[in-house]
């Protein structure tokens, strides 16, 4: 399993969400963040006064995926977040040792899978038969 962490421009979020979903990601976490890299902030004018904005607004995506779709998801982020300008962002890929879906107890690949029938509680006498 991999944890893909992407820092992108907020304006590219919707396109990236569509692309990673199409690439096979079944879920992700989005956090509004601020930071800088090579872009190093910018100068803004507000009511006639100039001020320097050192930390720019960005969006951080955290996407846990099985190894077999990691490259597709990385490519989807890279392709759709790219505007060709400084500040497009970065993608980091980390090995993910464990995952646990708290509600069902599913672990590892089953915990990050989008199919709720993969739960050990979904079968005979399991969760589905109790709530269904």
Per-residue pLDDT tens over the stretch 39-90: 666 666 777 877 777 888 999 999 999 999 999 999 999 999 999 998 899 9
> How many C-alpha atoms does 119 have within 13 Å on its Cβ side?
18
Q: Is the pLDDT of residue 123 over 50?
A: no
State the pLDDT at residue 40.
Answer: 66
CATH of domain 2-116: 3.30.70.120
CB 23 within 8 A of CB 112: no
CB 61 within 8 A of CB 21: no
Average pLDDT score, the chain: 85
**Separation of alpha carbons 7 and 31, rounded Å:** 9
């Amino acid at each position: 399993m991999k944890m893909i962490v992407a820092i992108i421009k907020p304006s590219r979020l919707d396109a990236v969400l569509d692309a990673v979903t199409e690439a096979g990601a079944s879920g992700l976490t989005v956090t509004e963040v601020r930071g800088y890299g090579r872009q190093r902030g910018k100068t803004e004018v507000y009511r006639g006064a100039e001020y320097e904005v050192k930390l720019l607004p960005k969006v951080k995506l955290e996407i846990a995926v099985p190894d077999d779709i990691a490259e597709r998801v990385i490519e989807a982020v890279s392709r759709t977040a790219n505007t060709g300008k400084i500040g497009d962002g970065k993608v980091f890929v980390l090995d993910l040792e464990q995952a646990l879906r708290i509600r069902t107890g599913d672990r590892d690949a089953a915990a990050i899978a989008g199919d709720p029938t993969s739960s050990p509680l979904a079968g005979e006498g399991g969760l589905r038969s109790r709530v269904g």
